[in-house]
A = this chain, B = another copy of it.
Amino acid sequence: MREFDERDDALDKAFLALADPVRRRIIARLSRGSATVNELAEPFEMTKQAVSRHIQVLEHAGLITRSRDGQRRPCHLAPGALEELTAWIDSYRLVAEAQFRRLDSLLDNMSNNVQKEEPS
């Protein structure tokens, strides 16, 4: 009954948010502690409005949260959000690694069989 899968949508937004060097640098900066929009915008050769929208993308992706401090709107890394992404990646990474190991032992068996069959 739902137009789209909510988990898909959450992953879409999170991965898309990270698919931009500006937004990744913002994440990197916030990993060392909270910061305001002006502080986050300062290193970039781009208008503050543009950075403000990058921040909104990160916020809607659930990667950061914001609070209110007078006229400031400090940004904080959302605890747990990055874990969800690594969890998704790792789930398939581990399956693939198991698959590779299975292939390795299959090749081992084949070469063993060759050795066994060779003498015949």
| Chain A residues within CB distance 8 Å of chain B | 4-5, 8, 11-13, 15-16, 18-21, 24, 27-28, 30-33, 77, 79, 82-83, 85-86, 88-90, 92-93, 95-96, 99-100
Q: Which residues from B are CB-within-8-Å of A11?
A: 18-19, 21, 24
The CA of A96 and the CA of B93, in the complex, are separated in Å by 24
**Nearest neighbor of A20 in chain B, beta-carbon distance:** B12
**Nearest neighbor of A95 in chain B, beta-carbon distance:** B31
**Nearest neighbor of A85 in chain B, beta-carbon distance:** B89
> A83–B77 contact, CB under 8 A?
no
Copies in the complex: 2
The CA of A33 and the CA of B30, in the complex, are separated in Å by 38
Known A8-B21, A21-B12, A100-B79; contact A89-B92, beta-carbon cutoff 8 A? no
Known A16-B15, A19-B16, A99-B33; contact A28-B85, beta-carbon cutoff 8 A? no
Among candidates B15, B24, B95, residue contacting A18 with C-beta atoms closer than 8 Å = B15
> A19–B15 contact, CB under 8 A?
yes
> B32–A99 contact, CB under 8 A?
yes
